[in-house]
Amino acid sequence: MSEDPLIKAVRPDTKWFVVLRPFDGDRRFVRGEVVDTTGWVHLDALVENRYIAHLPHGAEVPSEDGDGRRIIELTKQQERKVASKKRPPVPSRTAS
């Protein structure tokens, strides 16, 4: 399948991506971490499965913390907004 030229035109041309869901690679990547994806083999699959997303145009790459990670810090208001959008747990079936 070929890529939509409109998507290609507006997507930032950057090696920096934001982790949307935790996953294991050469180490454990955490939600909100900004990573340099230079040389990553399965980059397209990670994007397609929504593990990572392009760092938005104009966003600044955070500086490294003490562990060498670059984490996006959310404000309290942003954290509340994310929590309010989460779906309630799906009830499990009980044995009859």
Cα gap 63→34, rounded to integer Å: 10
Average pLDDT, the chain: 84
At 87 the pLDDT is 64
Phi, psi of 34 (to 5 degrees): -100, 125
Mean pLDDT of 53-60: 86
Cα gap 49→8, rounded to integer Å: 18
Query: Alpha helices, DSSP H only, in 2-92?
Result: 5-10, 43-48, 76-85
Is the model's pLDDT at 91 over the cut of 80? no
Q: 59, 64, 70, 63: which is closest to 29 by C-alpha?
A: 70
Interacting residues of 31 by C-beta distance below 8 A, sequence separation 6+: 19, 20, 21, 22
pLDDT tens digits, 12-48: 778 999 999 999 988 999 999 999 999 999 998 999 9
Pick from 6-20, 30-44, 57-71, 76-90: least confident: 76-90
Mean pLDDT of 45-61: 90
